[in-house]
Amino acid sequence: MADDISADVVIVGSGISGAIMAAKLAAAGVKVAILEAGASVDRGEAVETYWNAVIKVPECPYPPTAQAMHPITNDLDYWYRQTGPDKFSSTYIKVVGGTTWHWLGTCLRLVPNDFRLKSTYGHGVDWPIGYDEIEPFYGQAENEIGVSGNSKNDLGAPRSTPYPMGEIPQTYLDKAFAKALTGTKFEVASTPEGRNSVDRGNRPACCGNASCIPVCPIQAKYDATVHVDQATKAGAELHEKTTAVFVEVGADRKVAAIRFKRWDGSEGRAVGKVFVIAAHAIETPRLLLNSQSDATPNGAANSSDQVGRNLMDHPTQLSWALANDAVFPYRGPLSTSGIENLRDGEFRKIRGAFRIEIGNDGWSWPTGAPQDTAQQLALQGIRGQELDDALRFQTARHIRLASLVEQPPDPENRVTLSPKDRDMYGVPLPQIYYRLDDYTKAGFAASVLAHNEIFAKLGTTGVMHSPVSQGAGHIIGTVRMGDDPKSSVVDRDLRSHDHPNLFMLGSGVFCTSATANPTLTIAALALRAVDKVKAAVAG
């Protein structure tokens, strides 16, 4: 058929893992085709859309279309069909470059004990690989992304290489926290970030636009179009506006093709020697589960009944207060420092760990400030110069903390297919069952106590704690890796247990959530899998 696509390797998804894989394979002379459901983003238009948006959520510069539907933060029932007692509140977008367009940029490594949670603390499961096996690829990932960080502080994760760039300077607010917490158990440290602290790779240094989420106007912050461009310049073919809808499996258990449908109504098959699904931890199981056939009655790669299970996030405790002294938020990247020394310890036998993110964005996340602050002051009858003075006084003292809490895998937390609702291509919408367990809730309780202690040291009034957890934007689990085909979907090399020419990338393969923002680990695992995919093509 004229609409068919042929390559050595067919990759579904152009986010960070798919883009890195495509770039490395294409550079090695492998013929690569990338299928991307969404369209390319015009950065200037995205910035303008964000500026004009009434509701400023991570997805607002990238509104969903009928051809590339995705969840939105301000309406969690818009795309997801939620059936659990708790709302799953993390989202993603469908565009060329994936969700890296609106990620914060935090590039933390997992710590060694994160890979052996079960054997060390008796919860969750152990990963089939250890920290030592992934450590060299962490270094490579930091170089590929372009991470700025303090190489003298390993944040609990031993390093064999320095960061490629020095740290983003800490803000006045960061230094106020550090000074107040000196001598306490809370160690304020510069956060490693996927944004340039100096000009690098034809991208400028960060100039503090303060809109990292949802869009960096100048691309100082990394997004996966960096590697999409590398891939296409090396010969890879990018097929945007092309949605994968079905994985065909032959009698030999190998994947034979990926069926796709395009925005213009055309459709076809993408054929290759090897297939890589890198479609994020909701869309990957959705595609696999929709691929039911005589050869795959439970869906592709799902003989274990593990596809879609063990959905996790970093449920986030959000707290905010008014500092006694001015700390001048609303400047620079949205977060440049955090408290990372609470991510591991014997306490993990009874509760989830957490990392504390220190926000430079004032109360914008919890309340919509500073716009909301002006509204609230005006409703109090304050006008004119008095209003201006009150607004300056308050916003200069806005502080917030966010604790990203460890959530263990639970097979009942899962993505399935909606029995009644479908997208325009006929694929069922993602149905989600999600529940926070007692281990996670105990982590929340500990984080509230920590926030109270920190606020007290800093000197604050009006402390507020969100009564419900927030989504961190980290969608984890659903196609996890493991040595046992009965309890996992892919092996330690990210190859499907069921189909020898199928690989999966992304945070869906994570065995546990730990506390580190997942993007750096996603990239490291993708880099680790490159040689395995090459060998599969050759073999």
Reported for 426-431, long-range contacts at CB under 8 A and 24+ positions apart, including other chains, are 426/245, 427/245, 427/286, 427/287, 427/290, 428/286, 428/290, 429/79, 429/80, 429/81, 430/79, 430/80, 430/81, 430/282, 430/283, 430/286, 431/80, 431/81, 431/82, 431/83
Distance of CA 418 to the CA centre of its chain: 24
Span 263-286, pLDDT tens digits: 999 999 999 999 999 999 999 999
Alpha helices per DSSP H over 370-505: 371-379, 384-395, 438-458
Distance CA 531, CA 266 (A): 34
Distance of CA 155 to the CA centre of its chain: 20
- Cut 0.95: pTM above it: yes
For residue 497, what pLDDT is reported? Answer: 98
Place of tokens 């300056």: 392
Strand partners, 404: 316, 355
DSSP 8-state symbol, 53: -
Distance CA 362, CA 335 (A): 10
Closest CA to 10 of 30, 37, 33, 26: 33
Instruction: Say how many C-beta atoms besides its own lie within 10 A of residue 491's C-beta.
Output: 18
For residue 3, what pLDDT is reported? Answer: 75
For residue 150, what pLDDT is reported? Answer: 98
Q: Note whether residue 4 is domain-resident.
A: no
**Rounded alpha-carbon distances, angstroms, from residue 350 to 125, 316, 410, 447, 512:** 15, 18, 16, 14, 16
Q: Note whether residue 272 is domain-resident.
A: no
Instruction: Say how many C-beta atoms besides its own lie within 10 A of residue 224's C-beta.
Output: 29
> pLDDT per position in the chain (539 positions), as tens?
457 999 999 999 999 999 999 999 999 999 999 999 999 999 999 999 999 998 899 999 999 999 999 999 999 999 999 999 999 999 999 999 999 999 999 999 999 999 999 999 999 999 999 999 999 999 999 999 999 999 999 999 999 999 999 999 999 999 999 999 999 999 999 999 999 999 999 999 999 999 999 999 999 999 999 999 999 999 999 999 999 999 999 999 999 999 999 999 999 999 999 999 999 999 999 999 999 999 999 999 999 999 999 999 999 999 999 999 999 999 999 999 999 999 999 999 999 999 999 999 999 999 999 888 989 999 999 999 999 999 999 999 999 999 999 999 999 999 999 999 999 999 999 999 999 999 999 999 999 999 999 999 999 999 999 999 999 999 999 999 999 999 999 999 999 999 999 999 999 999 999 999 999 999 999 999 999 999 999 98
Is 156 in a helix, a strand, or coil?
coil
Asked if 146 and 164 touch (Cβ cutoff 8 Å), the reply is: yes
Six-digit token string for 255 = 């994947």
Residue by residue, DSSP assigns 473-495 as: S--B-SS-B-S-TTT-SB-TTSB
Instruction: Say how many C-beta atoms besides its own lie within 10 A of residue 55's C-beta.
Output: 11
The DSSP element (H or E) to which 460 belongs, if any, is strand 460-465
Q: Reading across the β-sheet that carries 428-433, which strands appear in turn? A: 81-82, 428-433, 414-422
- For 434, list phi and psi in degrees, rounded to 5: -145, 135
The letter for the amino acid at 102 is H
For residue 1, what pLDDT is reported? Answer: 46
Q: Note whether residue 35 is domain-resident.
A: no
Strand partners, 338: 189, 357
The letter for the amino acid at 140 is Q
For residue 2, what pLDDT is reported? Answer: 54
Q: How many domains does the chain have?
A: 1
End-to-end CA distance of the chain: 27
Six-digit token string for 123 = 């919860």
**Rounded alpha-carbon distances, angstroms, from residue 483 to 117, 187, 246, 285, 329:** 16, 37, 26, 19, 47
Q: Note whether residue 267 is domain-resident.
A: no
Domain of 145 in residue numbering reads as 42-94+104-222+279-522
The helix-helix angle for 371-379 and 384-395 (nearest 10°) equals: 130
Is 345 in a helix, a strand, or coil?
coil
Distance CA 381, CA 412 (A): 51
Q: Note whether residue 264 is domain-resident.
A: no
Sign of the alpha-carbon dihedral angle for 290, 66, 312, 15:
positive
Distance CA 539, CA 532 (A): 10
Asked if 25 and 9 touch (Cβ cutoff 8 Å), the reply is: yes
For residue 172, what pLDDT is reported? Answer: 98
Q: Note whether residue 261 is domain-resident.
A: no
Which residues are part of the catalytic machinery? 474
Distance CA 138, CA 159 (A): 9
Do strands 354-358 and 337-339 pair parallel, antiparallel, or not at all (unpaired)? antiparallel
Distance CA 399, CA 190 (A): 17
Please name the residues in contact with 269: beta carbons below 8 A apart, sequence gap of 6 or more. 1, 4, 5, 248, 257, 258, 259, 260
Q: Note whether residue 248 is domain-resident.
A: no
For residue 438, what pLDDT is reported? Answer: 98
Instruction: Say how many C-beta atoms besides its own lie within 10 A of residue 381's C-beta.
Output: 8
Asked if 426 and 243 touch (Cβ cutoff 8 Å), the reply is: no
The DSSP element (H or E) to which 528 belongs, if any, is helix 519-538
For residue 175, what pLDDT is reported? Answer: 98
Q: Note whether residue 237 is domain-resident.
A: no
Distance CA 13, CA 324 (A): 47
For residue 478, what pLDDT is reported? Answer: 98
